[in-house]
Amino acid sequence: QSRTSSAVQDWEWGGCSDNIGYGFKFSREFVDTGERGRNLREKMNLHNNEAGRTHVSSEMRQECKCHGMSGS
């Protein structure tokens, strides 16, 4: 068995490095800080922030690309 063939057989996909859940949690903590919904402006800001997160989520798709053996 060649060295290359062995390396290919030993390779395991590690998954994607994105974490949309973490991104959403972080954005809620960072962007929504100070917006408690006490008045109309704060309610509008919270709504718009959530609408933005919803849009980003709706456009997400998994797209894998091969970067060779190095993974770079």
Q: What is the chain's pLDDT, residue by residue, as a tens digit (72 residues)? A: 555 556 566 766 666 667 888 888 999 999 999 888 899 999 999 999 999 999 998 988 877 777 766 655
The pLDDT of residue 32 is 93
25 occurs within a structural domain: yes
User: How many angstroms separate the CA atoms of 49 and 37, rounded?
Assistant: 12
42 occurs within a structural domain: yes
44 occurs within a structural domain: yes
The pLDDT of residue 60 is 86
* 8 Å CB contact between 16 and 64: yes
Q: Residue 36 belongs to what domain range?
A: 18-58
The pLDDT of residue 15 is 65
The pLDDT of residue 7 is 58
29 occurs within a structural domain: yes
30 occurs within a structural domain: yes
In the chain, the number of structural domains is: 1
